[in-house]
């Protein structure tokens, strides 16, 4: 577990709570259920999806866009355009505002969309003009696609356009595009493309040309790919400037919570690699803009390097030391109120979840100290969850509620569906009647983690995320349960070049 990410999630999350908005893409697919105004807003956020549906003949979307502001009506032109390949039309649609402003023609947009490296370059160029959620989403999507094609090698690698990319865009490819197992593609791309082409100080120049876009994300992805030492070596004389980015501009960023969490993880992983006092100086500089965030991070650095900080940094840390929670201790009275510990275990329908449930059943069903009680959800009458109970010698009762996964189902939906939803709703209602659960455990692959987080209640005091890269989900989790202690894993370190199967 990366304690830095844990610290930041538990402390900085109190500074900003975000409400999760409905997905524009989902709304567009269900357009007949929504108003013209809602459809127009969704199309503005997901013009690529809107054009796909327009080209398939969606009348509700066509009607809503026809009465929308002029810029959005550009999307109607894509409904009739000739696109080779077909994917060029939805890809080019993300430039609808530039087409409306006549800084880009429709034909130019289609030409860009047909060449992957030119398309990515234009996206980066426009994103550097200012924060833009649409371009961030498309850049993330394109970075994943390009890196996947590059990983395949052969014709796919040639078609990815990486060999023709500028240095700035090579950097952006690694600053965007995180997903499960992306540490492997990061490590391989870093070793074979970034390091040879951007050595000798060119990495920092490329980052500067990209205005240090997503620099903290880039530094953290290097940690997860076990390339932090190689990265600092690649920076050379610019090492101090590179690592000072960890603490710069956190408070003024669009999302200080996420950026603060990343900064905490960077402090932990790079502290020993940073030039002497670099991180301290950066934190004190940031304190002039936002002392609370810088102070919490200084207190965390003090915990990482006890007795090694300069007096000015110690003074900054001292003002916020008391607000840094102890992640290694859990108050039993909070976790087990009225001497009862209620735990919910979520076993998802994949090989990991099924195997974990089998181990759970083998441990508890045969132990005479535990009472194993199979229960059925109301609708189907079959055993869909179990309740396991034990009262110890000290008089504390532990009860565990666990769903039964469906072997070989292997559903990868990020939303509760079918029998899985039924079991979840039944357990949620039951636990609500009992005052909710204070402990949650999730077992299954990473794509199920959002469902597990959606089931966590504000009363939770301990959450175990059993999916890979669980540290990436700290922030949405603690927004639901701000007092929870969290155990999770980062991505496993990528293997060295000599052991990665290229």
Any idea what the CATH number is for the domain that residue 424 is in? Answer: 3.40.50
**Looking at the domain assignment, is residue 112 inside a domain?**
no
Least confident of 136-140, 301-305, 449-453: 449-453
Q: For residues 237-241, give the mean pLDDT.
A: 89
**Looking at the domain assignment, is residue 118 inside a domain?**
no
SS3 state of residue 125: helix
Q: Of the residues 267, 295, 324, which one is the last residue of a structural domain?
A: 324
Q: For residues 117-142, give the mean pLDDT.
A: 96
Examine the pLDDT at 368 and tell me if it is beyond 60.
yes
Question: Is residue 414 domain-shared with residue 386, that is, in the same domain?
Answer: yes
**Looking at the domain assignment, is residue 296 inside a domain?**
yes
Question: Is residue 378 domain-shared with residue 451, that is, in the same domain?
Answer: yes
**Looking at the domain assignment, is residue 220 inside a domain?**
yes
Sign of the CA dihedral with 116 first, then 122, 125, and 129 last: negative
Question: Is residue 341 domain-shared with residue 303, that is, in the same domain?
Answer: no
pLDDT tens digit string along 241-276?
999 999 999 988 888 888 888 899 899 899 888 887
Give the whole-angstrom CA distance, residue 256 versus residue 252: 7
Model pTM?
0.74
Give the whole-angstrom CA distance, residue 261 versus residue 216: 10
Give the whole-angstrom CA distance, residue 85 versus residue 221: 33
pLDDT tens digit string along 30-66?
999 999 999 999 999 999 999 999 999 999 999 999 9
**Looking at the domain assignment, is residue 452 inside a domain?**
yes
Strands (DSSP E) found in 246-396: 340-347, 371-376, 383-391
- Specify whether the backbone of 242 is left (phi greater than 0), alpha (psi in -120 to 50) or beta: alpha
Give the whole-angstrom CA distance, residue 473 versus residue 467: 10
On whether the CB atoms of residues 243 and 259 are closer than 8 A, the answer is no
Question: Is residue 483 domain-shared with residue 392, that is, in the same domain?
Answer: yes
51 to 40, 120, 297, 308: CA distances (angstroms): 12, 19, 45, 57
Give the whole-angstrom CA distance, residue 325 versus residue 272: 23
Question: Is residue 383 domain-shared with residue 477, that is, in the same domain?
Answer: yes
Question: Is residue 401 domain-shared with residue 474, that is, in the same domain?
Answer: yes
- H, E, C per residue of 185-204: HHHHHHHHHHHHHCCCCHHH
**In which domain, by residue range, is 379 found?**
332-487
Give the whole-angstrom CA distance, residue 281 versus residue 128: 27
**Cis link prior to 340 (omega < 30° from 0)?**
no
Q: For residues 212-219, give the mean pLDDT.
A: 94
Q: Of the residues 299, 324, 349, which one is the last residue of a structural domain?
A: 324
Distance of CA 321 to the CA centre of its chain: 28
SS3 state of residue 345: strand
Give the whole-angstrom CA distance, residue 130 versus residue 7: 30
Give the whole-angstrom CA distance, residue 476 versus residue 459: 15
Question: Is residue 388 domain-shared with residue 466, that is, in the same domain?
Answer: yes
DSSP 347: E
Question: Is residue 347 domain-shared with residue 432, that is, in the same domain?
Answer: yes
CA angle 209, 216, 254 (to 5 degrees): 90
Q: For residues 133-142, give the mean pLDDT.
A: 95
Question: Is residue 296 domain-shared with residue 347, that is, in the same domain?
Answer: no
**Looking at the domain assignment, is residue 247 inside a domain?**
yes
The two structure tokens encoding residue 167: 């240095």
The domain total for the chain is 2
pLDDT tens digit string along 308-349?
899 999 999 999 988 877 766 777 777 888 888 889 888 888
Give the whole-angstrom CA distance, residue 448 versus residue 458: 20
Question: Is residue 379 domain-shared with residue 246, that is, in the same domain?
Answer: no
CA angle 419, 417, 491 (to 5 degrees): 115
pLDDT computed for residue 214 by the predictor = 94
**Looking at the domain assignment, is residue 270 inside a domain?**
yes
- Which residues, including other chains, have CB under 8 Å from residue 110's CB and lie 6 or more apart? 81, 83, 88, 89, 92
pLDDT tens digit string along 150-197?
999 999 999 999 999 999 999 999 999 665 557 788 999 999 999 999
pLDDT computed for residue 171 by the predictor = 96
Examine the pLDDT at 501 and tell me if it is beyond 80.
no
The candidate with the shortest Cα–Cα distance to 30, out of 11, 49, 17, is 49
Q: What is the DSSP string of 384-409?
A: EEEEEEEE-TTS-EEEEEEEPP-TTT
**Looking at the domain assignment, is residue 390 inside a domain?**
yes
Question: Is residue 344 domain-shared with residue 386, that is, in the same domain?
Answer: yes
Question: Is residue 318 domain-shared with residue 437, that is, in the same domain?
Answer: no
Q: Of the residues 308, 324, 340, which one is the last residue of a structural domain?
A: 324
pLDDT computed for residue 437 by the predictor = 83
């Amino acid at each position: 577990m990366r304690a830095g990410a844990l610290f930041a999630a538990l402390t900085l999350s109190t500074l900003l709570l975000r409400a999760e908005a409905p997905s524009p893409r989902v709304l567009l697919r269900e357009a007949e259920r929504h108003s013209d105004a809602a459809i127009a807003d969704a199309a503005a956020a997901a013009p690529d999806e809107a054009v796909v549906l327009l080209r398939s003949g969606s009348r509700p979307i066509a009607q809503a866009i026809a009465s929308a502001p002029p810029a959005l009506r550009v999307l109607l032109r894509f409904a009739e355009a000739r696109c080779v390949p077909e994917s060029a039309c939805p890809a080019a649609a993300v430039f609808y505002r530039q087409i409306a402003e006549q800084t880009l023609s429709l034909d130019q947009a289609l030409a860009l969309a047909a060449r992957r490296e030119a398309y990515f370059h234009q996206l980066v160029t426009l994103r550097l003009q200012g924060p833009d959620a649409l371009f961030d989403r498309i850049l993330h999507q394109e970075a994943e696609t390009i890196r996947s094609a590059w990983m395949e090698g052969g014709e796919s690698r040639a078609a990815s356009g990486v060999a023709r990319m500028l240095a700035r865009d090579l950097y952006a490819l690694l600053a965007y595009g995180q997903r499960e197992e992306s540490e492997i593609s990061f490590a391989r791309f870093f070793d074979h493309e970034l390091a040879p082409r951007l050595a000798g100080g060119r990495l920092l120049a490329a980052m500067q040309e990209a205005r240090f876009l997503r620099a903290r994300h880039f530094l953290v992805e290097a940690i997860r790919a076990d390339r932090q030492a190689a990265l600092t070596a690649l920076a050379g004389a610019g090492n101090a400037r590179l690592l000072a980015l960890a603490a710069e501009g956190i408070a003024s960023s669009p999302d200080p919570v996420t950026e603060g969490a990343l900064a905490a993880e960077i402090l932990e992983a790079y502290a020993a690699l940073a030039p002497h006092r670099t991180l301290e100086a950066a934190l004190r500089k940031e304190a002039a803009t936002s002392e609370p965030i810088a102070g919490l991070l200084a207190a965390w650095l003090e915990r990482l390097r006890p007795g090694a900080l300069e007096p000015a940094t110690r003074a900054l840390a001292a003002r916020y030391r008391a607000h840094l929670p102890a992640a290694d201790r859990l108050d039993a009275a909070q976790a087990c109120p009225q001497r009862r510990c209620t735990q919910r275990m979520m076993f998802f329908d994949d090989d990991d979840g099924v195997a974990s449930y089998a181990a759970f059943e083998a441990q508890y069903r045969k132990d005479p100290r535990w009472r194993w009680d199979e229960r059925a959800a109301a609708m189907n009458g079959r055993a869909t969850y179990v309740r396991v109970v034990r009262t110890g010698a000290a008089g504390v009762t532990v009860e565990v509620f666990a769903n039964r996964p469906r072997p070989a189902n292997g559903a990868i939906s990020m939303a509760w569906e079918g029998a899985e939803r039924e079991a979840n709703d039944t357990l949620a209602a039951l636990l609500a009647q009992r005052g909710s659960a204070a402990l949650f455990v999730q077992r299954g692959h990473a794509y199920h983690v959002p469902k597990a987080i959606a089931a966590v209640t504000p009363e939770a005091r301990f959450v175990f995320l059993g999916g890979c890269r669980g540290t990436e989900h700290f922030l949405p989790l603690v927004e639901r349960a701000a007092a929870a202690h969290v155990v999770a894993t980062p991505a496993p370190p990528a293997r060295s070049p000599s052991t990665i199967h290229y």
